[in-house]
């Protein structure tokens, strides 16, 4: 797909809202998933929390799908600063990893549940059906879910470090234009 750089200097409000809402949801869901995995023993409490994890995850897939489509259709803004070209290339690659993570994380969770033979209730409003139990496919999807989380956390750390570097060291408008102040 061709990405046409736009000429305006700030991200539009839909992009800014989408960025910050999905950023908060993704960081919260990563923390939630790790908490569930590490600290909640099997039992009714884990079942309830897992239900919430899955429900919010489905909401992330719907909202995130729109947010990612919007970005791919609109293209990215050209660089705001004058960082060395390897840093610009790294930042761009990280943006693609982040966009992919917004879709791959909930989708792999859903596919894992589907082939694990478990239905996914969404806030008790409706349910996505259980599929045939195919253990290796369920395990593969959960493997992607777990490994994807680690890749995404690394990408977010790099991304935030880059944003802070642009703001406090380069003193350019990279961060400001994502909060509508450029
Ligand atoms: C934004 C979306 C999501 C994020 C960021 C996310 C993140 C995580 C993380 C970090 C873990 C712990 C890591 C691990 O399993 O090794 C986890 C576990 C899990 N997630 Fe998600 N998740 C998301 C959506 C979903 C969805 C939509 C479902 C299912 C419908 C789901 C089902 C699960 C299950 C079943 C586990 C436990 C897996 C296991 O015990 O191996 N997740 N999630
Ligand atoms: C507190 C944490 C975060 C900060 C401070 C931050 C900051 C920024 C800034 C300043 C930009 C603009 C870059 C530019 O104009 O070249 C940006 C873009 C971007 N950020 Fe973040 N970000 C954060 C978290 C996240 C998270 C968690 C994700 C996704 C999981 C994410 C995904 C993206 C993407 C894909 C872009 C490219 C433009 C767009 O599609 O919105 N960010 N971020």
pLDDT digits (tens, 9 = 90+) for 54-74: 999 999 999 999 999 999 999
Q: Which residues line ligand 1 (CB under 6 A)?
A: 26, 29-30, 33-34, 36-37, 53-54, 57-58, 60, 105-106, 109-110, 112-113, 120, 142, 145-146, 149
Q: What is the pLDDT of residue 6?
A: 41
* Domain CATH number, residue 114: 1.20.950.20
In the chain the beta strands, taken as DSSP E runs, fall at 120-122, 126-128
Does some domain include residue 1?
no
Read off the pLDDT band of 81 (50, 70, 90): confident
Q: What is the pLDDT of residue 96?
A: 98
Q: At what angle do helices 13-39 and 44-74 cross, to 10 degrees?
A: 150
Index of the ligand 1 atom closest to the CA of residue 149: 10
- Answer yes or no: is pLDDT of 1 > 60: no
Does some domain include residue 5?
no
- Answer yes or no: is pLDDT of 181 > 60: yes
Q: Give the count of alpha carbons within 13 A of 77, CB side only.
A: 17
Index of the ligand 2 atom closest to the CA of residue 68: 40
Q: What is the pLDDT of residue 182?
A: 79
Helix (H), strand (E) at residue 83: none
Residue numbers of the domain that contains 26: 13-78+85-178
Number of domains, the chain:
1
Q: Which residues line ligand 2 (CB under 6 A)?
A: 15, 19, 22-23, 26-27, 71, 76-77, 80, 95, 98-99, 101-102, 156, 159-160, 163, 174-175, 177-178
Read off the pLDDT band of 111 (50, 70, 90): very high
Does some domain include residue 114?
yes
Q: How many helices (H) and strands (E) does the chain have?
A: 4, 2
The answer to whether 109 touches 54, Cβ cutoff 8 Å, is yes
């Amino acid at each position: 797909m061709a990405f046409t750089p736009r000429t305006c200097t700030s991200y539009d409000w839909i992009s800014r809202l989408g960025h910050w809402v999905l950023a908060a949801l993704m960081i919260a869901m990563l923390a939630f998933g790790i908490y569930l995995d590490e600290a909640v023993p099997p039992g009714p409490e884990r079942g309830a929390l897992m239900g919430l994890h899955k429900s919010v995850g489905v909401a992330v897939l719907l909202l995130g799908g729109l947010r990612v489509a919007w970005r791919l259709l609109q293209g990215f803004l050209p660089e705001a600063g004058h960082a060395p070209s390897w840093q610009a290339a790294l930042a761009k690659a990280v943006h693609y990893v982040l966009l992919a993570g917004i879709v791959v994380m909930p989708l792999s969770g859903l596919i894992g549940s589907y082939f694990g033979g478990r239905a996914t209730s969404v806030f008790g409003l409706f349910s996505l059906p259980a599929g045939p139990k195919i253990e290796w496919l369920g395990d593969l999807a959960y493997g992607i879910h777990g490994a994807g989380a680690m890749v995404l956390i690394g990408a977010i750390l790099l991304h935030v470090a880059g944003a802070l570097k642009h703001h406090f060291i380069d003193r350019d408008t990279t961060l400001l234009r994502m909060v509508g102040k450029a």
